[in-house]
Amino acid sequence: MIVSLLYKVARKLLSLPSVLLRGDAAKDAELLVLRHENVVLRRQLAGPVRYEPADRFWFAALSGLIPRRRWREIFPVSPGTLLGWHRRVIAAQWNYTACRRTGRSPTRAAIKNLVLRLARENPGWGHRRIHGELARLGHRIAASTVWEILHAAGVDPAPRRSGPTWREFLTAQAEGFIAADFFHIDTVLGKRLYAPTFLEHGTRRLHITGVTTHPTRDWTVQKARNLAAELGVRMESLRFLLRDRDGKYGEAFDAVFEAEELDVIKTAPRAPRMNAHCERIIGSLRRELLDHVLVLGEAHARQVLEACQGHHNEHRPHQARNQLPPDAHEHPAAVHDLSNRRLLRTRLLGGLINEYRYPA
């Protein structure tokens, strides 16, 4: 548009002398054409003549001031070339190819990442199932687009791409497991105490059911009954009890859980790694608490273990639960304005355990 306007203005200005002095204007125009042609030729002596847009502009503007019978002698290009230049200028003025996109708009990166996440977390889902889940979430894309995203990422769009990993398999099985183990505590005077521990694998919920100096079978059975009553309806989600072959358990202990339709699984002799979750929890209790407390007796041990159990279940984050405590179901709302929020600390057992929170 601007080029056309400049061209018209130049033509008008150059045609004005032709109205007043036709003969002199034609001669001057011829001189201007020849001079400009010389400039072009001097600029490109080493190669073929190439006319830049400014050269074409001047030739086209001066063409109207030269009689047509003199064009062949004066102009270095033919009238057809001038018309071709003009056609290209007009065509470029109305060319919207750069602003026009063919086909559908590209899929957003967030949608592609979501498709790949659903495929990664659900190995049994094909592209049709993923497409249905996206539709349920409010993302309206075609099933063929889902297929193309998976194919481009090197993921087989068909179901059963791969079996579950060991981590996925064990996590799925953990929902039905509860493990039992004993650990000991030495008091200040060297007296040894025993505490039975139960750990729900799926939730990482810890149950320390008592402390005693003489863990008989009858005492252990009673603690098992207390645990079954405490769990209540949650026992329905459990399928297996994992324990070692310690003589403190016995058949009556197993019968308590078998009555709740749990299968009792015994670990191999001298194989603590078969009950690794319990062993890890007991190790954490020792490193973080018991190694730093002088236990005076049974009552003191109960108090210490009760505080530790409450902290473990209500506050301590766990990697297996995405840094959530066993009794929590979601993370608290994110705090952005830290300057106006006071962080509160709760000290347990004289500061051996610290819990932090923001006031509501």
Q: Can you give the length of the chain in residues? A: 360
What is the 8-class DSSP label of residue 219? H
Q: What is the DSSP string of 232-301?
A: GGGGGG--EEEE---TTTHHHHHHHHHTTTPEEEEPPTT-GGGGHHHHHHHHHHHHHTGGG----SHHHH
**Residue 177, Cβ neighbours under 10 Å: how many?**
19
**Residue 279, Cβ neighbours under 10 Å: how many?**
16
Render pLDDT for 226-278 as a digit per residue (tens, 0 to 9). Answer: 999 999 888 888 889 999 999 999 999 999 999 999 999 999 998 888 899 89
Chain centroid offset of residue 50 CA? 55
**Cβ pair 178, 227 in contact under 8 A:** no
Render pLDDT for 203-220 as a digit per residue (tens, 0 to 9). Answer: 899 999 999 999 999 999
Render pLDDT for 290-326 as a digit per residue (tens, 0 to 9). Answer: 888 999 999 999 999 999 999 999 988 887 787 888 8
User: In terms of pLDDT, which residue wins out, 320 or 45?
Assistant: 320
Neighbour-count burial for 116-126, b at 16+ CB within 10 Å, e otherwise: bebbeeeeebb
In the structure encoding, which two tokens stand for residue 304, read together? Answer: 């210490």
Write down the pLDDT at residue 181. Answer: 95
Dihedral sign, CA of 236, 237, 242, 246? negative
> Tokens 């009553």 label which residue?
229
CB within 8 Å of 58: residues ≥ 6 apart: 32, 36
* Residue 341: half-sphere exposure toward Cβ, Cα within 13 Å: 12
In terms of average pLDDT, the best of 122-131, 151-160, 195-204 is 195-204
Distance CA 28, CA 31 (A): 5
pTM across the whole model: 0.56
